[in-house]
Amino acid sequence: MNRKLLFSFLAALGTVVSVKAQRNELGVRLGMSNLVGDIGRTNYILQKPLDLSKASDWGVPFYGGILYRFNFNPHQTVRLDLGYNQIQFNDKVAKEEYRKNRNSFGKNNVYEASLIFEYNFFPVNNEQKSMVSPYIFGGVGALMFDAPKATVINDFRRDADGVAQAPINELDFTTTPVYSTGTKTTMQIPFGVGLKYKFNYNWAIFAEATFRYTLTDQLDYSRIQSKDVVATYNGDILSPVTGGSLLQTDAYYVVSKEREAAIIGERNVGDFKSKDWMNTVSLGLTYSFGRPPCYCD
């Protein structure tokens, strides 16, 4: 999927450049991303690396991306971003005492694509050797990330040889959760502020703070949704009525669902009505194609 996004980006870039190359910018952006969710710190920007003892395994929170700008006029720009975020979260460095006591932690790899409108307060995109301008921006985008999943295994009690034993009552079987992750996508709303410095006609450097309101509560693995839970039932002992596993019938099935709900309820943490924020502080460098833009009619 990442290769398809990159190829689509390059194809779109080639089409636009062939029409009006003087209005185009291509660049890179590097920085640090952080998460504001149900686990870890709640600072919206400039979170330091969370746990130096895990730096050798996890690295540090990171953002890297490429971008394309199309300048409609000296003030207005449309931008396409493709980026990678490594976010980390650790209750040990949270301010809230209940989070420290909980001591949950983790990291996630998040890929993003977004379409953004920029407005520069000064005509920094005009034909000139250098200029500085603050700007604001906002847009829409998508995220691809790892989300938690669970398989709830219902099995019969077994003897020393591993042979399934018939239940003596509706509670006489085992229920064990196995957790994993799977890829999901969601929408995001990026916005923020930046400062752009154009120099030597074609080059520009910029710094910006990006805030992303996401439509998910799973970036920190704090919640497993019911649709991501799969229940299995061992078939060593079958029901004479249905021909399926005995554990999928009558009171056994009711108990299995009660246990499943209790397991997921204990596993999930935080405010289920809130959504995660993923924010980035970054520096970027762009190069304008061809001669400086003239914006002629």
Beta bridge partners of 198: 131, 204
**Per-residue pLDDT, 52:** 62
- Per-residue pLDDT tens listing for the chain (297 residues): 555 554 454 455 444 444 333 589 999 999 999 999 888 887 776 665 556 666 667 778 889 999 999 998 889 999 999 999 999 888 887 888 888 888 888 899 999 999 999 999 999 988 778 899 999 999 999 999 999 999 999 999 999 999 999 999 999 999 999 999 999 999 999 999 999 999 988 899 999 999 999 999 999 999 999 999 999 999 999 999 999 999 999 999 999 999 999 999 999 998 888 899 999 999 999 998 755 545 555
Q: How far is CA 275 from the centre of its chain?
A: 12
* Cα–Cα dist 26/37, whole Å: 33
Tokens of 195: 């400062």
Concatenating the DSSP letter of every residue in 67-129 gives EEEEESSSSEEEEEEEEEEEEEEEGGG-SSHHHHHH--EEEEEEEEEEEEEEEESS-TTSSSS
Residues in the chain, overall count: 297
Beta bridge partners of 281: 32, 209
Could you tell me the pTM of the whole model?
0.83
- 79: how many CB neighbours lie within 10 A of its CB? 19
Beta bridge partners of 138: 117, 191
Fold of 2-147+181-224+271-288: Porin (2.40.160)
Q: Residue ranges of the domains in the chain?
A: 2-147+181-224+271-288
* Cα–Cα dist 235/237, whole Å: 5
**Per-residue pLDDT, 66:** 97
Q: Which residues contact 67 (CB under 8 A, 6 or more apart)?
A: 25, 26, 27, 28, 29, 79, 80, 81, 82, 284, 286
* Cα–Cα dist 39/252, whole Å: 35
**Per-residue pLDDT, 127:** 74
